[in-house]
A and B are shown apart, each in its own frame.
Chain A
Amino acid sequence: MSGREVLSPTLEVADLRTHFFTKAGIVRAVDGVSFEVRAGEVLGLVGESGCGKTVTGFSILGLVDPPGRIVSGSIRLKGKELNGLDEAGLRKIRGNRIAMIFQDPMMTLNPVLRVDTQIIEAVRAHRDIDRVAARELARNALARVGIPAPEKRLEAYPHELSGGMRQRVAIAIAFINKPDVIIADEPTTALDVTIQAQILYEAQKLCRETGTAMIWITHDLAVVSALADRIAVMYAGRIVEQGATSDIIARPLHPYTQGLLGSVPSANRRGARLAQIPGLPPSLLAPPPGCSFQPRCPRAVAECALAAPPVTEPMVSRQVRCFRPLVVERAAS
């Protein structure tokens, strides 16, 4: 761990704001998000639907379409600013330095092209090698993600493969150019438990072997706690809490994180009532005043509705956006 601390982060996102200018008003989908990922590290970006986690991933790759745009903030890949880069510059980055894995692998795969054509295309778009060498790379990539009989699979069309197999092909494509960062957006949500375990195993192994930094976007806290080194919890366009996985799971500071953890069934509380968070996530069109979690928060005080809480660091390398984080009480008692 201490050896890794001195390394500068691979990807730094600072105060990113991506807003959508709709007829109904401005949707602040991402509203001041900051985080870093280092080489070989897995960052879990957790949140419920509509919290802005996918838009954060799309913003990093410059994939936000009108009416949305990045309003402000910086995205630095190994020190180089990506925000404001033109389309040609972004094309050199996408699929090469930063790759993305989507929830639905058919978003990555072209249904009318054979698997080998697609992988060779991805390699040759960024590297000057011939087709034979590219095909060799493709076969190795498929073998590395645990696809049996890779030579045969290269000649298949995506519809001939199962869901889990397609997702492996998508992962093989993401890793093939040895990117610095991979953004994985709910890649195992649609898969079965045994297939999900296979994919998590491959992802864990590849990150360790290649030193690729990974952002794993998901709503599933169990998956993230099993996989990630650090967790960032998002709510209504902001990261409300960030820290090492073991710290966050063992001692959540933000009431929302605590609520999320409490609402997941676990073995030692079988049959007991789950700690539910009352109410619904707010509309990003008209977020509540002050802290956006305050209407659902059991610890809210009058102050919470007046201003949005700033990011504080009540413990070492733990960031939280809350006026009344849970740690204060523990220290007092």
Chain B
Amino acid sequence: MRGMIEVRNLTKRHGPRTAVDDLSIHVRPGLVTGFLGPNGAGKSTTMRAVLGLVTPDSGETLVGGRPFRSLVRPLCSVGALLDADAAHTGRSAYHHLSVLARAGGIGRRRVAEVLDQVGLTDVAHRRVGGFSLGMRQRLGIAAALLGDPGVLILDEPINGLDPEGIRWIRELLRTLAGEGRTIFISSHVMSETALTADRVVIIGRGRLIAEATIGELLARFHRDVLVRGPREDELKRLLLAHGAVVRPEPGGGLAVGGGRRGAARPPAPDNVWISELAAAHGIPLYEITPRSASLEEAFIELTDSSTDHRTGRRQA
């Protein structure tokens, strides 16, 4: 499929350490897909494998159904941001992009366009060595955009950007995804990814942990429902009588969790169930808010369990 990134059973070892372990993922066009994992989880290795920079020990990676190394003019179909030092410090931003454009068969006109797009026109003729991390990130993004590619693979694009830069890249990536492009961005910070990505792929120790939309992830880590009202004592007795677990909140209100009496596999009390129960007994409610564990907590829980699992298995 055009624009699809496929990783099939990818395994890569660096000496005794397995960086990527039988990993299979699909990254679809038209979406921003976040690629998450703690440092050293294998994100960069996987991305570099997709770009033909890392030779897999087994498995394969395809972009639009083809191995990257078989692409004739790859800049025109796949744009990449690698590390921030992926430019010679002695070259100016303009020359850095001109060199890549020429090697990739792209006209000089695009160089000025992408410099303008990332806001580096004023410093185009300054040497990259004098750039801040944020400016080097913008230069890397400019390089990725050179060929107006349908697929963007960006390793930690938000690193080093200031708040204005972070907002800028979020809007840029959302726009590009809206045009039907495939956007694949890695990060080790869940919260910043959640604001940009539609879907996330989470890996730990080179293995797939979860592949889900942000909404699915939030639902999976649903914690409890916060309820406030004028007759909280009465409401608490009612909920307890129906099998819910109720704790008073420090700031007022009730945290409602636990099971629900009568159901075969008791689902957690949700806002619908609580409000209908309260209404049936004529108890008014001021506020009813379903709460999830924060994405950061979800991320740590997911990646921790993968670590434990692997440690246990190795000892067995």
A in complex with B = no
Give chain B's interface residues, CB within 8 Å of chain A. Answer: none
Give chain A's interface residues, CB within 8 Å of chain B. Answer: none
